[in-house]
Structure 1
Amino acid sequence: MRGIFFAIFSFVVVVVLIPLVILTSCDINILPRNRVEERAIIESDLSIKIYNHETKQTMELYLEDYLLNVVASEMPAAFEIEALKAQAVAARTYAIWRYMNHSKQGGHPEHPSAVLCTSHTHCQEWLSTEELLKRHGQKWFDQYWSKIEEAVNSTTGVVMTYNMNPIEPLYHSTSGGATENSEDVFATAKPYLRSVSSPYEQGSPVLVDNKVITVKEFINRMKREKSSIKISERNLASQIKIIQRTQGGSIKEIQIGDQTFTGSQIRRMFDLRSADFNVDINGSSVEFTTRGYGHGVGMSQWGANGMAKQGSDFEEILSHYYQGITLNKIKSYK
């Protein structure tokens, strides 16, 4: 009996008490789904340090103020308001996730003075108001800034969690019809980053893209990447074989010459929009046809906008692209 009691006690501690302690330490309040109207606006008193790649300086901004410029930089302001709200929640969750993982050390190893940076290739894109005005003009600002404020302010404090912890909410421009399992792109399997359909991306200008290079250039790049590769111009098409695709449609493994590569490697080498591509040889040219833009994991921004146009609210959008998550609210940033 003592052994059974100990086993039950251990199960309760691991499955129930530990997650509750973590949740309490994060000061997050669980909210019921579809009850956005009951979320009280909270004071945004968390200041967060961001390394600015443009000025080479570390800034300190209130989180909600930081998010205004992230949403304006990461997603077209002409998108539907519910898509912008989804982007605001994703960006806030990402910032909190970074903060919880790196604030105790003072910053991220690649920018030790700050937990976040302004580069979209490493963290989230953040452009100053002056940079946004320079890029888009005053008319854009007058037309859309209040809309961006609405997207951020109406979701103040709302984040996504899985098992009571903030998630790593990856997102990208366009998936090409289906998103990717995280382990197929970044090696680590995350239960909330599963491959899902993304059927409403028809408006994306990068849904399908073509890139053409010469056969000679193709072979030279392959040899620069792997000097031992055996490949020739003659019958090149027979030397390229797609071995396996991921659940989301991207190339998982491709054979070129006598070597194998991942789709991500080929995407990087030839600066393709995505790893979901086909290769065709036309005479002296090599043509890549890609679907989508970005790594393909998490929320498709154009897919989110398509869902919003179909009538989905931001909660439905987020629950589709991030499987099994709960929308929660930070009670206090203090």
Structure 2
Amino acid sequence: MILTMLLGRINSKPENDNNIVLSGKYVILSDDTVTKKIDVEYFIPCVLMAQLPIDSPQELLKAQAVVIRTYIINKMGKKDSINAKELSLPYISYGKLREMWFAKYKKNNLRNIRGILCNISGMGKSIPYRENTQYLYGIIKKTNGMVLKSNGEIILPLFHQTSNGQTRSGSEVLGKKYEYLKREKCGNDIQQENYIGIKYFETGEFGNVLKEQGIIAYKDKKEIFVDKNVSTKELLGLIDISNRDKSGYVKIVKIGDTVVEGGVFAKALGLQSTDMTIEEYEKGIRITTKGVGHGFGMSLTYGAGLAGEGKTWKEILERFYDASIVEN
């Protein structure tokens, strides 16, 4: 999962919006100076802005708001609150959002009187902050309290940035419990600029990086990378990435006699996906990946494409999750 990032001090409160129905469930935020709790409905924009630009299609923002709410409530279980660190979701504090939006506002208004005054005086931070929070609260209100359920249970709605062209079947890879995660073709994902990822490793470097991440490879009970002179040809002969799911993602990587889960291997090497190929390149190997993320659940990239085609937020969610959209 993505590591939690607290971006900015918790030094700014959300704008009040009496039309948002509060959930009565809270996320606890903390930094070096303060600890506070915030209602889930007001926390959703913080997560949303860490995943998508504010000018993303509105139907995608609505769909992802439901995904975030469902994810948090699932993780919370029967409790009324949860620490943000337990969620493993990146988020941007309201204080940081205020600074970000003001910086963009100044940049976009360099040539008018208002922008000049803002740049000189530093005043006017409340203008873009108020406008953007109210806009996001309008998005939240459209889905207020709505979550995804399967067989009466709130699901764990996994999501990722960009698929390899097809999302992954939850039941095939993760088991029957995750059968609500559908395999869906995502044609426009392959057109994205960051669709292809490439990383290079010399043979010795490859072994060292794995060791640093706690992966030690063995062959016939002997550690493989003790000998720094393992050739590229020998290394390629030791690696097996043929165990894939039907969407093309590597499930299991074998290095000699050592077996590593595909996601663990990708994370250890800093790869952006587990749909990978490994080939010889100069003094080492080149690993080429397709897509960004684990491939389960909603592809945010394809979701944006669906919104651009006029699909509603409910229709977008139905593409990726075999689940009911209900009020919690």
TM-score, length basis structure 1 = 0.73
What is the deviation of 1:279?
1.1
**Aligned equivalent of 1:139:** 104
Q: Which of 89, 110, 120 is residue 124 of structure 1 equivalent to?
A: 89
CA gap 1:211/1:54 in 2 versus in 1, 3 angstroms: farther
C-alpha displacement at 1:186, in angstroms?
A: 5.3
Deviation at 1:81, TM superposition (A): 0.8
Seen in structure 2, the aligned counterparts of structure 1 residues 77 and 102 have a Cα distance that, compared at 3 Å, is same
Residue 230 (structure 1) aligns with: 224
Q: Given residue 328 of structure 1, which amino acid in structure 2 is its aligned partner?
A: V
Matched, 1:71 2:48: yes
Which consecutive unaligned segments of at least 5 residues does structure 2 have? 1-17, 106-127
* 1:1-334 equivalence runs, <5 A: 44-52=21-29, 54-55=31-32, 58-99=35-76, 101-103=77-79, 114-117=81-84, 122-135=87-100, 137-139=102-104, 141=128, 144-182=132-170, 189-202=177-190, 204-222=192-210, 225-226=215-216, 228=218, 229-230=223-224, 232-235=230-233, 236-323=235-322, 325-330=323-328
Query: How far apart, in 2, do the equivalents of 1:46 and 1:234 lie?
Result: 56
Instruction: Decide whether the 8 Å contact of 2:189 with 2:291 is kept in 1.
Output: no
After TM superposition, give the deviation of residue 43 of structure 1 in Å.
5.5
TM-score when scaled to structure 2?
Answer: 0.74
* Partner amino acid, structure 2, of 1:152: I
CA distance in structure 2 between the aligned counterparts of 1:93 and 1:269, rounded to whole angstroms: 29
* CA–CA separation in structure 2 for the residues paired with 1:97 and 1:246: 26
Q: What count of residue pairs does the alignment treat as equivalent?
A: 277
Mapped to 1, the partners of 2:64 and 2:251 lie a distance apart of 28
Which structure 1 residue ranges, 5 or more long, are not aligned?
1-40, 107-113
Asked whether the 8 Å contact 2:280–2:286 carries over to 1, the reply is yes
Letter paired with 2:242: I
Q: How far apart in 2 are the matches of 1:185 and 1:137? A: 44
CA RMSD of aligned residues (A): 2.8
